[in-house]
Structure 1
Amino acid sequence: MALTPTTATTTSGGAPAAGKSYGSALVLLASLFFMWGFITVINNTLLPHLRSVFDLNYTQTTLIESVWFIAYFVASIPSAKLIERVGYQKSLVIGLLIMAAGALGMTLAASIPSYGVTLVMLFVIASGITLLQVAANPYVAVIGPAETSSSRLNLVQAMNSAGTMLAPLFGAYLILGRSKGGTAEAGAVLTQAERLADAQSVVLPYVLVAIVLVVLAVVIARFPLPAMGSATSRIAKEERHKHSLWKHRNLVFGIPAIFIYLIAEIGVANLFVNFVSQPDIANLTHEQAGRYLTFLWGGMMVGRFVGSALMQRIDAGIVLAAFSIGAFVVMVVTVFTTGPVAMWALILVGLFHSIMFPTIFTLGIKGLGPLTEEGSGLLIMAIAGGALVVVQGWLADAYGLQTSFWLTAVCELYVLFYALWGSKVTNDLSGIKLEDDPFK
C-alpha cells in the first residue's frame, strides 16, 4: 500500500480482520464511485452542446463517446501494471489527478475552441476513471469481512447511480442553461460569435470538477486506508494453466453480452437529448431535455433495487430475460411512436437496463473458480463496447435518429439470448480450491 495503514489489522490470510469499522473508508471510496458516475454522465449533456458549438453530425458527435470508451480498452492493462508497481492507494490518487488534468484541459479546449483537443482531454479523463475502476472495485471487495463484500459493493454502486442521476441537472444548468444553443429551439442556427460564446460555458463546470478531484486526491493520499494484505494475491500461474477460460460458455458469451449491452446503454444516453428535443417528440430545448435525462438514470437506480429484490426469490437469468424483453418492447415503442409516448418509452429503457451490467457480470464469472480473476478482467475490458456507439451515430445520419434505435432493440435481443442460454454454466470449477488459494 502507498501509506502505512493505522486503522486496521489483517488476519493471517491477509484480509482485514473482522470486527473493525471500515465506515469512514467506505464513505471515502463511495465518493470516488459518485465522481466517476457523475463525470461520465456529464458527457450526455455535453454532447448536444458540442454538436452545436462545432456543428457536428451525429457520427462526429457519437465519436466523442467512442473515444471515452476506447480509453477503457487502452488504459486497463497499464492501470493494472501501475497498481502492481505503486499500490492501490497511490493509484487512486494518480487516477484522480489524471482526471483533474483532463478536466482542466477541457477549459483549454473551450478557449480555443477545438474539437480535436476536446477528444484528447476526454480520453485523458476516461483513462483516469479506468484506473479508478481497476483499483477501487477489488479494494472495496476485500477491505472488510468477506461475508459482507456484496453489501459493500452494492453500497458504493448506489453512490455511482446517485452521481449519474445528479449529473444531468448539473450539466443542464451550468452548460446547456448558460449557452445559446442549449436554450434555443430545435433547428435554430447559431452565428459564429454565438458558438464561441457557448464554448466558454464549459469552463466553469470543469474548473469546479477539477477542484473537487484535487481535493479528493489530497484527502485519499493522507487517509489511512485499511491494508489489503495478501487477499488479492493471484493464484499461481502454473496452477491456472491447468484450466481454460474458453471452456466456460457463460464467460464466452458473457464478454460479447457486456460489449453489446454497452452499445445500447450509451447510445440511448448520448442521443436522448437530441431525440426528445425534436419537434415531433417533445419539442424541448436542450436544457429542458437534459433535465428529463435525470429520469432515465433515476430509473436505473430504481431498477437495481427492484431487480435485487426479485433475485432473492427468482433465478438471476430469468430476471435478466424479463428485463431484456421489457427493454426490447419499449425500444420498439420508441421507434414507432411520436410525442410524449416516444419520449417516456425511451426514458423507461433505463429501468430495464438497470440490472443488465451487474447481472451479466455475475453470471459471466459463475463457476470459474480459480479462473474468476482472469474472467473478471476480460468482462471489464468488454466495457469498451461503448465505443461502438459511433455505429448508431452513423445510422442516425444515414436513416434518421429515430430509426437508429433499432440497433438498441437488436442489442436487447442478444441479452435475452444470453439470459436464456448463453449464461448456462459449463465446466463448473467453483468447488476447486487450490493449495495456495488465499480465499480457502
Structure 2
Amino acid sequence: MEHYSQAAPVAGSPAHTGSNTGPLVIVTILFFMWGLLTSLNDVLIPHLKAVYTLTYVQAMLVQFCFFGAYFIVSLPAGMLIKKLGYQNGAVAGLTIAAAGCALFYPAATSGYTLFLIAFFVLAGGITILQVAANPYVAVLGDPRTASSRLTLTQAFNSLGTTVAPTLGGMLILGGVVLSADDLAKLPAAEQAAYHAKEAASVQGPYLALAAALLVLAILFALARLPKIADAEDGSAKGGFSEVLKHRHLALGAVAIFLYVGGEVSIGSFLINFLGDPKVASLAAADAAHYVSFYWGGAMIGRFIGFAVMRTISPGKALAFNAAAVIALVLLAIFSGGTLAMWAILAVGLFNSIMFPTIFSMALNKLGPLTGQGSGVLCMAIVGGALVPFAQGLLADNISLQLSFLVPAACYTFILYFGLKYANMYNEK
C-alpha cells in the first residue's frame, strides 16, 4: 500500500550540516513499518471473517475503521504537530500506533468490536506519523533530489507491503480454518475454544510489532533531526472551499478517493478470491503468499514508472496504467483458474505509480494553497474505508467474482483524469 500521507510544502532546512544518512535511515524504516502494518490488514480480514463467521460487509469494517481514521485524524494530526513539532509529533504517532498494536492482545479474548477499536487507534497513530515524518524526506538533503529520496522511501514502504502478507500468512493463517458449516457441527464449548485459539494467533505478532514501534519511537526521540519551519504561517488565504475552486484539484481528490478505494478493496478480497473454487482453491495461508506478488508488483512498477515518466507525461502514464488495470480486473471477473488469479495479481504492477502521480498532478500550480490542497487529498483517502463496503455488498448479494466490478468502475474515473490532464505540464 502506498504511503498515504499529507505532503504539505516544507519551508526550512536542516539545522545542522552533518550527515543526513542516519536520520534518513530512521525515516525510511518508518515508511517500511507503516507499509507492513497497512498490508497486514489483507491477512487479518479473511482471518477475522472466518473466526467470527462474518459476512463480507461485516469483515470490511476493518478497512472502514482503519481508513476512516485517516479522514478523522488528518486535521487534528496537523494541529498536534504544529503544537509538538515534527519530531515529537512522529514520536507521538509511533507511540499511539504501538498502543493500537498492543490492543490486539486483549481483543483476542474480547471479540470483534475491540479489534475494530484497535485498528482505529493503530491507523490514527500511523496518520499522525505520516503527517509528521513525510516532510523530513524533503529536507534531508538537496531539494533538487527530494523526489528521488521520496521514491526511495516509497520503495521501502512497498517492501513492507510485500513482506507483510507472507509473514502474516505464516504467523497468523498457519492453522486449519474450519468452514462455517464444519464449525456449526461442533458443540458450543468446542466452537468457543476454536474461536479463542484462532483469535489468539494474532497476539504474538502484534505484541512484537508494538515493541518494534516503541523502539522506533525511542530512536526517533533521541535522533538529531533537522528542525522544520512551518510552511503555513498565514501565507495562504482561504480554506478548503477556496482550493476546491481549482478544478484539477477537485477532480484529483475524487481520483484519490476512488484509487485508494479500488486498491484497498482488491487487496482486502484477494485471499478470499484466490480461495474461490472457480479461481485457485487456495488455502488462506497459501493465498497470503500470492498477495505478496500483488504488493511486490507495486514496488517493481514504482521503479519502472520512475524511469518511464522521465520521458512520458505523468497523465499519459496514469491513463495507460488505469486502462491496463481495468482490462486485468475484467479478465479476472470473466475468466477463471490461473488466468483469473494472475490477472488480479498483476493489477499491483500497474497500481504502482498512481497515488504519487495523481497527488502531484492535483497539486500542480496551487502555489500558496498547496498545503490546503494536500489536506483535501489526504482526507480523500477515506475512499479506502467506503469502497470496500460497496464491493462487500456485491460479494454478499451477487458473487465474489462479480463484486470486482466495483474497483473496475473506480479505475475508469482515473483513466478519465489521466487523459484530461495528459498535457498538464506542457501548459503555460
TM-score, length basis structure 2: 0.91
Unaligned ranges ≥5, structure 1: 1-12, 431-440
CA distance in 2, matches of 1:376, 1:120: 27
CA distance in 2, matches of 1:236, 1:95: 26
Percentage of pairs with the same residue: 43
Find the counterpart in structure 2 of residue 419 from structure 1: 418
CA distance in 1, matches of 2:181, 2:149: 47
Structure 1 residues 173-322: aligned runs within 5 Å: 173-177=170-174, 179-181=175-177, 189=183, 191=186, 192=191, 193-228=193-228, 230=229, 232-234=230-232, 236-237=234-235, 244-322=242-320
- Counterpart residue identity of residue 141, structure 1: A
- Counterpart residue identity of residue 326, structure 1: A
- Counterpart residue identity of residue 286, structure 1: A
Find the counterpart in structure 2 of residue 434 from structure 1: none
* 2:139 matches 1:172: no
SS in 1 for 2:282: coil
* 2:150 matches 1:153: yes
| 1:221-247 residue CA offsets vs partner (Å, 9 max, x unmatched) | 11111222x3x4215356568x94234
Task: Check whether the contact 1:250–1:424 (CA below 8 A) recurs between aligned residues.
Answer: no
Find the counterpart in structure 1 of residue 8 from structure 2: none
CA distance in 2, matches of 1:315, 1:187: 53
CA distance in 1, matches of 2:288, 2:31: 22
CA distance in 1, matches of 2:286, 2:301: 24
Shift of 1:19: 6.3
| 1:20-52 residue CA offsets vs partner (Å, 9 max, x unmatched) | 421110000111111111011111001111001
CA distance in 2, matches of 1:19, 1:93: 23
Find the counterpart in structure 1 of residue 405 from structure 2: 406
Q: Closer, same or farther in 2 for the Cα pair 1:67/1:285, shift >3 Å?
A: same
* Over 6 Å off, 4+ runs: none
Task: Check whether the contact 1:186–1:278 (CA below 8 A) recurs between aligned residues.
Answer: no
> Which one of 119, 122, 127 corresponds to residue 122 of structure 1?
119
> Which one of 83, 87, 90 corresponds to residue 88 of structure 2?
90
Q: Alignment length, in residue pairs?
A: 409
| 1:354-389 residue CA offsets vs partner (Å, 9 max, x unmatched) | 111111001101111221111111111111110011
Shift of 1:14: 3.3
SS in 1 for 2:244: helix
Find the counterpart in structure 2 of residue 68 from structure 1: 66
Find the counterpart in structure 2 of residue 380 from structure 1: 378
Task: Check whether the contact 2:53–2:180 (CA below 8 A) recurs between aligned residues.
Answer: no
SS in 2 for 1:169: helix
CA distance in 2, matches of 1:153, 1:238: 25
Find the counterpart in structure 1 of residue 27 from structure 2: 29
Shift of 1:145: 2.1
Q: Closer, same or farther in 2 for the Cα pair 1:76/1:310, shift >3 Å?
A: same
CA distance in 1, matches of 2:16, 2:210: 36
Q: Closer, same or farther in 2 for the Cα pair 1:342/1:374, shift >3 Å?
A: same
CA distance in 2, matches of 1:168, 1:398: 28
Unaligned ranges ≥5, structure 2: 1-10
CA distance in 2, matches of 1:187, 1:148: 57
Q: Closer, same or farther in 2 for the Cα pair 1:200/1:399, shift >3 Å?
A: same
Task: Check whether the contact 2:51–2:198 (CA below 8 A) recurs between aligned residues.
Answer: yes
CA distance in 2, matches of 1:409, 1:119: 27
Task: Check whether the contact 1:185–1:284 (CA below 8 A) recurs between aligned residues.
Answer: no
Find the counterpart in structure 2 of residue 433 from structure 1: none
- Counterpart residue identity of residue 410, structure 1: A
* 2:135 matches 1:138: yes
- Counterpart residue identity of residue 68, structure 1: F
| 1:289-317 residue CA offsets vs partner (Å, 9 max, x unmatched) | 00100000000011111111110111110
Shift of 1:16: 2.3
TM-score, length basis structure 1: 0.89
Q: Closer, same or farther in 2 for the Cα pair 1:16/1:238, shift >3 Å?
A: closer
SS in 2 for 1:401: coil
Shift of 1:248: 2.1
Task: Check whether the contact 1:102–1:121 (CA below 8 A) recurs between aligned residues.
Answer: yes
- Counterpart residue identity of residue 78, structure 1: P
Task: Check whether the contact 1:368–1:375 (CA below 8 A) recurs between aligned residues.
Answer: yes
Task: Check whether the contact 1:100–1:210 (CA below 8 A) recurs between aligned residues.
Answer: yes
Q: Closer, same or farther in 2 for the Cα pair 1:338/1:89, shift >3 Å?
A: same
Find the counterpart in structure 2 of residue 438 from structure 1: none
Find the counterpart in structure 1 of residue 3 from structure 2: none
Find the counterpart in structure 2 of residue 436 from structure 1: none
CA distance in 2, matches of 1:187, 1:142: 57
CA distance in 2, matches of 1:240, 1:71: 25
SS in 2 for 1:180: coil
CA distance in 2, matches of 1:186, 1:31: 40
| 1:259-301 residue CA offsets vs partner (Å, 9 max, x unmatched) | 0111110011000000101112111100000010000000001
Task: Check whether the contact 1:54–1:115 (CA below 8 A) recurs between aligned residues.
Answer: yes
CA distance in 1, matches of 2:60, 2:256: 19
* 2:166 matches 1:162: no
SS in 2 for 1:176: coil
> Which one of 317, 323, 326 corresponds to residue 325 of structure 1?
323
- Counterpart residue identity of residue 324, structure 2: G
Shift of 1:185: 7.8
Find the counterpart in structure 2 of residue 6 from structure 1: none
